[in-house]
């Protein structure tokens, strides 16, 4: 408490007390505070698109000479210089603004070139003492011509220095880099745009001042975010460009991929503006733990500097990846909304501006900057011309000039005598006096006259710009085009009119248990069809290996893989890749290798795939030594089990399914003997049974093919002969097709009947197949081969050739 002086009386003190309304004082004080926040901190200027702290950082860094061709300096040095000279609001605020201008994921065209850890979408930057900074190339366009009287300078906070009230800004920075800020009673939130598009709109506005918003939106269709992504719905963008306020949705860029042969996944390569991967992952984990999001088994962040953002979301088997992706858009930040609020300072007053107003204010400012710069350059050129003309006068009689100066008593006398004798101005006389004598003698009249002509031409051009408003506008437009060419980059954000109908309304989240086919190719590729329509045998067919087995099941059903060592291995159809709708003979080029589902040891080969339905058909097996076995339908719960006990050296060569028991079991041996007998003649055995005699195999021979054939259907027998001495794939031979009905039924355990007559040099069958027609062979390179016409089995006819048969297409179950 202040002490009362003895010279003051109570009456004098009472006379100095002024009664003030507290409410009015609070109102005035708050108003002053609000104006200070609006002008000095939160809102950008419509002309250069910068807040005061950003403008001061760029100006101070420019004054320090930290250009792009110079080395980086500690960020704390830049922060200290800005705080000490221009912005006394604390180093934290200054450094935060500097960091933002250096982040490529925040600014579409960064203004600061940062070196070190300037943060990420999920983490903050390192301290200013650990990072370094300098001006980015684009910042040079913001500060260009700052020393040519292009803008007004104002005193700094302590009236010791001058600082620019606005930067010259060679491009519309407010639209290009956007801005966000909260003031007292006002807020601004503007998205970044593409530099080339914005400058194109500005140039169009210069040429056509009365153009419509639609004309400008042909150049600027929407924001262009630094990290790309997708903008869904353009109605809100047009509202923002018209009124200054609007909303649009941003979506991550994602695609469905096969993460492994057995799993599908969602790969995210771009996220919405200012959304980091950790934020997305954390939200996913929360939703999965709360059972609000289903179908996700794992999330991996594989982002690195070389490949950029890569977020891999594994989808559980049985769930539709498209529907899961739609749920992610709905429940996580993978889809976000951005509210546009174009508030900026126009002549010190906050205003909400549309696209045309933003461009109009910038264009008017830029025209004024170029006009002031032109006037400055004109004055400078005129001053230089005035000095050159003085030198030209003096150099005509250089000896007299020297004598006049030497004979003068002082500088003032010399100046006066030069002005009087040679009719020079005071500036010209001073320029001659300031020159060293040795420099003056080096001037030549020719050089000075050349310099005079250059200055006169420059003055004429500058005066033409100032005297012709259209030429001034063309100059501004041309400079904008040069900036766009120098700093422009292609658009990164994709604009979509709408997202279309949600996937979840068209497809269920979980894959339905619809009927389908599971296919196995001769090279071990597995796949399933999208429906259970009959597999077409005709139509366009791509080069691929032949389908050797096809079984009808459901999308959530199971199939069994029969191997050459007599094992049955369980495979879930849901894990198999789905083929597109079939337009012809199926191609398994999109299938997955068998090794992704089963691990077969060396020497064990896949034979066929069969149904594992509890009420499904029975299984018939045939071995290389002529053993046949029908297996009962009981199945263990294990992943794999034995279906036949093989003798040493024996292997399974074929497997088929018996549906009614009226089918035939067919053996074809390597010495061209065919045996068919009724499936009912073979009694089913348990899994440990070793089978019974099927066909009698001669010494040195083996079974070339075994299968189940429906005698009620039109079937053929296809055999291909060759030589055992030839290298595989090189043996000459013949292909023969015979109607299956030509072969009589024989008793089980017999040798069957002759199916193929060998020609000279042939002694074995390299391939045999029995099944329903039509059928095609697959030759080398996957090319389909037309089979010969089916003739009688005794006529010996066939087609000779050197094609290597790899399988028969279009099998039927």
DSSP annotation of 595: G
User: What distance in Å separates the CA atoms of residue 298 and residue 293, rounded to the nearest whole number?
Assistant: 12
**Peptide bond preceding 537: is omega within 30 degrees of 0, i.e. cis?**
no
User: What distance in Å separates the CA atoms of residue 603 and residue 585, rounded to the nearest whole number?
Assistant: 31
Q: What is the number of H-type helices and E-type strands within the chain?
A: 20, 40
User: What distance in Å separates the CA atoms of residue 771 and residue 812, rounded to the nearest whole number?
Assistant: 8
Q: In what order do the strands lie in the sheet with 807-808?
A: 784-785, 777-778, 807-808
**Helix ranges (DSSP H) in 38-136:** 52-63, 75-85, 91-102
DSSP annotation of 40: I
**Pairing of β 230-232 and β 494-496:** parallel
Helix%, strand%, coil% for the chain, nearest 5:
35, 25, 45
Q: Is 209 left (phi over 0), alpha (psi -120 to 50) or beta?
A: alpha
* CA 582 to chain CA mean position, Å: 31
Bridge-partner residues for 571, per DSSP? 559
Exposed e or buried b per residue across 312-321, where buried means at least 16 C-beta atoms within 10 angstroms of its C-beta: ebbbbbbbbb
Q: How many other CB atoms are there within 10 angstroms of residue 688's CB atom?
A: 10
Cα dist. 374→145, 203, 384, 458, 472 in Å? 10, 20, 15, 11, 9
Q: To which H or E segment does residue 32 belong? A: helix 22-37
Exposed e or buried b per residue across 22-49, where buried means at least 16 C-beta atoms within 10 angstroms of its C-beta: eeeeeeeeeeeeeeebbbebbbbbbbbb
What does 223-254 look like in DSSP terms, one character per residue?
---TT--EEE-SHHHHHHHHHSEEEEEEE-EE
User: What distance in Å separates the CA atoms of residue 391 and residue 397, rounded to the nearest whole number?
Assistant: 10
Q: How many other CB atoms are there within 10 angstroms of residue 798's CB atom?
A: 20
95 is catalytic: no
User: What distance in Å separates the CA atoms of residue 715 and residue 708, rounded to the nearest whole number?
Assistant: 11
Cα-based torsion angle of the residue sequence 803, 806, 809, 813 in order, rounded to the nearest 10 degrees: 140
The residue among 262, 243, 305 whose CA lies nearest residue 571 is 262
User: What distance in Å separates the CA atoms of residue 285 and residue 269, rounded to the nearest whole number?
Assistant: 19
CA atoms within 13 A on the CB side of 787: 25
The active-site residue out of 86, 130, 740, 743 is 130
Q: What would the two tokens of residue 53 be? A: 């702290």
293: Cβ–Cβ under 8 A, 6 or more apart, which residues? 284, 287, 327, 328, 331, 332
End-to-end, the C-alpha distance of the chain in Å comes to 105
419: Cβ–Cβ under 8 A, 6 or more apart, which residues? 425, 426, 429
Is the Cα dihedral 559, 622, 671, 756 positive or negative?
negative
Cα dist. 770→247, 703, 711 in Å? 67, 13, 11
User: What distance in Å separates the CA atoms of residue 509 and residue 101, rounded to the nearest whole number?
Assistant: 43
What does 734-748 look like in DSSP terms, one character per residue?
EEEEEEGGGSPP--T
**Helix ranges (DSSP H) in 396-511:** 398-407, 411-422, 426-434, 437-440, 445-467, 469-487, 503-506
Q: Which residues are catalytic?
A: 130
């Amino acid at each position: 408490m202040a002490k009362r002086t003895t010279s003051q009386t109570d009456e004098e003190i009472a006379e100095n007390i002024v009664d003030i309304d507290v409410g009015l004082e609070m109102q005035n004080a708050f108003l002053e505070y609000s104006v200070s926040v609006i002008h000095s901190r939160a809102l950008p200027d419509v002309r250069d698109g910068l807040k005061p702290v950003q403008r001061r950082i760029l100006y101070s860094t420019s004054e320090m000479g930290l250009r792009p061709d110079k080395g980086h300096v500690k960020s704390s040095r830049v922060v200290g210089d800005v705080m000490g000279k221009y912005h006394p609001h604390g180093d934290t605020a200054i450094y935060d603004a500097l960091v933002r201008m250096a982040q490529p994921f925040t600014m579409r065209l960064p203004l600061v070139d940062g070196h070190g850890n300037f943060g990420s979408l999920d983490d903050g930057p390192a301290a200013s003492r650990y990072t370094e900074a300098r001006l980015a190339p684009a910042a040079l366009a913001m500060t260009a011509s700052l020393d040519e009287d292009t803008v007004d300078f104002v005193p700094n906070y302590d009236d010791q220095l001058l600082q620019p009230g606005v930067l010259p800004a060679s491009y519309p920075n407010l639209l290009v880099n956007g801005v966000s800020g909260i003031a007292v009673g006002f807020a601004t939130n503007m998205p970044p745009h593409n530099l080339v598009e914005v400058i194109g709109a500005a140039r169009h506005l210069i040429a056509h001042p009365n153009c419509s918003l639609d004309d400008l939106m042909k150049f600027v269709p929407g924001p262009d975010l630094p990290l790309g992504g997708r903008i869904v719905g353009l109605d809100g963008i047009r509202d923002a460009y018209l009124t200054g306020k609007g909303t649009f949705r941003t979506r991550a860029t994602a695609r469905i991929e096969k993460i492994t042969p057995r799993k599908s996944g969602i790969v995210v390569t771009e996220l919405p503006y200012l959304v980091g991967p950790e934020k997305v992952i954390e939200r996913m984990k929360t939703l999965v733990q709360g059972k609000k999001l289903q179908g996700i088994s794992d999330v991996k962040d594989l982002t690195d500097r070389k490949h950029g953002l890569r977020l891999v979301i594994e989808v559980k088997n049985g769930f539709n990846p498209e529907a899961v992706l739609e749920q992610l858009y709905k429940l996580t930040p993978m889809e976000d909304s951005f509210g546009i609020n174009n508030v900026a300072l126009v002549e010190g007053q906050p205003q909400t501006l549309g696209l045309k107003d933003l461009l109009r204010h910038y264009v008017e400012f830029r025209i004024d900057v170029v006009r002031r710069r032109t006037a400055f350059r004109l004055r400078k050129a005129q001053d230089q011309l005035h000095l050159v003309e003085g030198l030209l006068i003096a150099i005509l009689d250089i000896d007299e000039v020297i004598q006049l100066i030497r004979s003068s008593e002082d500088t003032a006398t010399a100046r006066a005598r030069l002005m009087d004798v040679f009719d020079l101005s005071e500036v010209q006389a001073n320029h001659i006096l300031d020159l060293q004598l040795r420099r003056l003698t080096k001037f030549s009249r020719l050089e000075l006259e050349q310099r005079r002509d250059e200055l006169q031409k420059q003055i004429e051009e500058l005066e033409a710009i100032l005297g012709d408003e259209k030429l001034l506008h063309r100059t501004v437009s041309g400079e904008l085009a040069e900036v766009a060419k120098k700093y422009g980059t292609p658009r990164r954000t994709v604009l979509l009119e709408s997202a279309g109908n949600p996937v979840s309304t068209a497809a269920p989240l979980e894959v339905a248990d619809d009927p389908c086919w599971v296919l196995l190719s001769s090279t071990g590729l597995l796949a399933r069809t999208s429906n259970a329509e009959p597999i077409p045998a005709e139509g366009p067919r791509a080069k691929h290996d032949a389908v050797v087995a096809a079984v009808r099941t459901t999308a959530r059903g199971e199939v069994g893989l029969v191997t050459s060592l007599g094992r049955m291995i369980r495979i879930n159809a849901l894990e198999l890749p789905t083929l597109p709708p079939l337009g012809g003979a199926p191609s398994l080029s999109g299938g997955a290798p068998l090794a992704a589902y089963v691990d077969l040891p060396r020497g064990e080969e896949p034979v066929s795939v069969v149904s594992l339905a509890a009420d499904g058909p029975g299984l018939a097996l045939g071995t290389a030594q002529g053993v046949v076995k029908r297996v009962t339908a009981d199945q263990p719960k294990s992943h794999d089990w034995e279906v036949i006990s093989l003798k040493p050296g024996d292997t399974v060569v074929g497997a088929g399914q018996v549906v009614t028991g009226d089918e035939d079991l067919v053996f074809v041996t390597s010495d061209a003997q065919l045996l068919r007998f009724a499936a009912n003649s073979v009694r089913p055995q348990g899994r440990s049974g070793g089978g019974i005699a099927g066909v009698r195999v001669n010494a040195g021979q083996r079974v070339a093919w075994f299968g189940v054939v429906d005698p009620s259907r039109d079937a053929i027998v296809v055999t291909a002969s060759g030589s055992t001495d030839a290298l595989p794939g090189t043996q000459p031979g013949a292909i023969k097709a015979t109607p299956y009905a030509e072969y009589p039924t024989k008793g089980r355990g017999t040798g069957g009947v002759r199916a193929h007559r060998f020609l000279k040099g042939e002694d074995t069958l390299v391939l045999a197949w029995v099944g329903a027609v039509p059928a095609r062979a697959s030759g080398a390179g996957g090319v389909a081969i037309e089979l010969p016409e089916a003739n009688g089995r005794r006529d010996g006819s066939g087609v000779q050739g050197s094609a290597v048969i790899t399988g028969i297409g279009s099998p039927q179950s």
